[in-house]
Amino acid sequence: MLWIAVGVMLGFGAAELPALARMSSHGTGVLGFEFAASPARLREIMGRWGSAGRAGARQHVLLDLGFICGYGVLLLGMCGRLSEGFRRRGRARAAGVAALLAWGALIAAATNALQKAFLWLEIHGHIEQPLPSIAAACAGITFTLALSAVAFASFGALWLYRQPAAHAVGEPL
């Protein structure tokens, strides 16, 4: 099942590369746009982009929803599996952290999707506060939670699978 999430994430990620390049080649990349946080900065970005950059931004916002679904399911599943693996090995604290980060991955994906709605409105001329601030706050939440889940999933998987399996009481080693 997680391989499907990887495929969705990579497929949508590859599909949005031309849109991301179009945005960057017209002055500001996706991160500058997502973290703009002020109407003045958004006006500057939109002005530099022109119609070609805004078209790239519209395409990115739509395609990124598929990427978000892919990474959300992937991180949720990876952290969930790690939680179960840590629990089976008697590592309750690590299992709890993994479970918490599974929820964090879900919240990251939901917050990222909400941010895309705000960015869509901004692309279509609604750039007054509080939209830029809310979109930037969503970006911060998304990056913090998603990167935490990625780091834990990566290092946790390496650590977990190097550990011997726990044995039940009375079971021969």
Tell me the DSSP string of 24-79: HHTT--HHHHHT--SHHHHHHHHHHHHHHHHHHHHHHHHHHHHHHHHHHHHHHHHH
The model's pTM: 0.88
Helix, strand or coil, per DSSP, at residue 163: coil
Residue-level pLDDT at 173 = 43
Tell me which residue of 118, 142, 120, 144 sits closest to 132, measured CA to CA.
118
Query: Tens digits of per-residue pLDDT, 90-117?
Result: 999 999 999 999 999 999 999 999 999 9
Residue 1 binned pLDDT confidence (cut-offs 50, 70, 90):
confident
Distance CA 113, CA 169 (A): 46
Contacts of 79 (CB under 8 A, 6+ apart): 98, 99, 101, 102, 104, 105, 149, 152, 153
Q: Using omega within 30 degrees of 0 as the cis cutoff, is the peptide bond preceding 164 cis?
A: no
- How many other CB atoms are there within 10 angstroms of residue 86's CB atom? 22
